[in-house]
Structure 1
């Protein structure tokens, strides 16, 4: 009898926690087990009618931003209700592993390779006890969107390769540039002219906050904060999405951008980023270009309304194309809680385009009916 009632109660709870019919940005978002979703700094992949949300599994306390567990995965048919699929890339017990427990693993983004039929998870990796000095891009592989993913390799991208259209005169260091005062006009000019590219040329460029984008021609790109977070780099991946082609470009040199998120509409690429203020929110930036490699045009803050200057107290992580709704996108962002990372919440908002500029308006509640029904 006790077992019977337990089954009934479990069934009722499952029903109760599967009835989300709208988004409530910033509020606690429970999965189908009734637990707050733990998928921070995440990205989403759509496969055969199902959305998969990958993110950082945070833990409690100030140490919760180090990777003690790994990357989580949730699945959904409707984007409102998410089932916990477990940890799909685990932080390892082996102290010699690059992804050993206590390292930093951030911003997982999964893409599918049509040629190899493999799922590739790219992420930002920092080695244990090294703070943010390693600044690596890493990739893991799986045969299934639910994982498990197997760690493959980490990189400092574009080792020994100059960016496209880098001026010949900028390949040589300027006299005394290493003695310039940080943030002086002379120092910013030197950064713009590639001082930090030259510094990291032999060992490879830095890669911190990042996202991955697959274009219509199946070419894939890693977009990552580099040069001490002062400049974004756009790096083309090889056909198997496991390495770099040595074709890359700088974006907004010395602009101090991180948290890149990208989408494309009617032949125009749009990107939303944040400034660099640690865990504290700041004013978002937006850009557009007719080529993935630029030139990129600055469009200013895409947010409108109260708290627009703080991106509604959040930071961008991904822009999600909605399946079945042509050219409709959701802006995904995180409200970080550094004092207790597991409590971090999520900001999802619809993106509109006005005069070829992305616009984000705050909504306490909304659903997919906010989008037009273009198929």
Structure 2
């Protein structure tokens, strides 16, 4: 068991790897996931990445042979391992045979169907990005409980099959409508963020969508709503290399969206050497959000670190991120 009881958030520095351990003493390995609050607890989920393979250089470490895992917490500092909620398969030829990818999994709850619905960026064995069907899809799974075993429901592409799916996220609006936001790639150059409305059961895509031309060649979207505005933080397309974040603002998810520039204060153009993953609204604390990001360790993907920072509002219609090595919730709420 881990004897450490965390009382604050600690963000890892690039020259000193910080291991965020679960209550069993194991490194938390939940890549590019999100958090959902259910029945008094936070549930953090993400794809379990692989250690540095014998080939070296991190090759293959960005894939999984386990699946999507989950942790739970009552205070956001200390996390209990819940187990694997979406399993890879050991059966050769199975759509979930690993190594493969469940990249950027996100979960929202459908009150009408009483189902938790997960969408992912799905890439079949051996987990290499492509444009062919099976190498760049939107995959979906469901479960009647937040921490149960999710049932794989298959994969598809929004809009049309010409647009490959890259980084994606989910957003559930005030009225319960679900949206799938993703980087749609026609080829390596023609890539742009799209917002697609989900069906009422969240299991398929409608024909209502928008191409966000202002977010051309952007990915890793993370969204919050506050003060009558939607704010969306994004990343540029530089593969595993970090780049300046950029955020957009709109009064409607359908836009128009305004380019607001880089939200990171006193940064060197690297999003504090990380990339956006999700924006968490803290339960019971209206107007307080945590920007979740990840530092991808390409030398050993199993040892990525997490960069969590409070979202600040200099004015009602702007946001910013200030880097803090350590910080506490009570400092802000």
Unaligned runs of 5+ in 2: 13-17, 53-57
SS in 2 for 1:359: coil
Structure 2 distance, partners of 1:231, 1:41, is 20
In the alignment, is the contact (CA less than 8 A) between 2:123 and 2:129 conserved in 1?
yes
Point out the more displaced range, 361-370 or 215-224.
Answer: 361-370
What's the offset of the Cα at 1:274?
A: 0.5
Q: Deviations over 1:296-354 (max 9, x none)?
A: 100000001244x1111100000000001001100000000111100000000000112
Structure 1 distance, partners of 2:77, 2:7, is 6
**Corresponding residue for residue 169 of structure 2:** 211
What's the offset of the Cα at 1:87?
A: 0.9
Structure 1 distance, partners of 2:104, 2:127, is 18
What's the offset of the Cα at 1:254?
A: 6.8
In the alignment, is the contact (CA less than 8 A) between 1:303 and 1:311 conserved in 2?
yes
Larger Rg: 1
Say if 2:98 is the partner of 1:101: yes
User: Aligned Cα RMSD in Å?
Assistant: 1.4
What's the offset of the Cα at 1:367?
A: 0.8
Structure 1 stretches (4+) deviating beyond 4 angstroms?
none
Count matched residues: 314
SS in 2 for 1:369: helix
**Corresponding residue for residue 329 of structure 2:** 368
**Corresponding residue for residue 138 of structure 1:** 139
**Corresponding residue for residue 73 of structure 2:** 76
- Choose the corresponding residue for 2:230, options 256, 269, 274: 269
Structure 1 distance, partners of 2:292, 2:181, is 16
Unaligned runs of 5+ in 1: 1-12, 160-202
**Corresponding residue for residue 184 of structure 2:** 226
| Structure with more of its chain in helix, by fraction | 1
**Corresponding residue for residue 43 of structure 1:** 34
Structure 1 distance, partners of 2:192, 2:331, is 35
Q: In the TM superposition, what are the counterparts of 1:18-37 in structure 2 within 5 Å?
A: 19-26=5-12, 27-37=18-28
Say if 2:51 is the partner of 1:60: yes
Q: Deviations over 1:12-31 (max 9, x none)?
A: x45x23x1110001232111
**Corresponding residue for residue 314 of structure 2:** 354
**Corresponding residue for residue 177 of structure 1:** none
What's the offset of the Cα at 1:216?
A: 0.7
Q: Deviations over 1:227-253 (max 9, x none)?
A: 247200100000000001110001135
TM-score under structure 1 length normalisation: 0.81
In the alignment, is the contact (CA less than 8 A) between 1:258 and 1:275 conserved in 2?
yes
Structure 2 distance, partners of 1:237, 1:81, is 33
SS in 2 for 1:361: coil
Q: In the TM superposition, what are the counterparts of 1:319-330 in structure 2 within 5 Å?
A: 319-330=279-290
TM-score under structure 2 length normalisation: 0.91
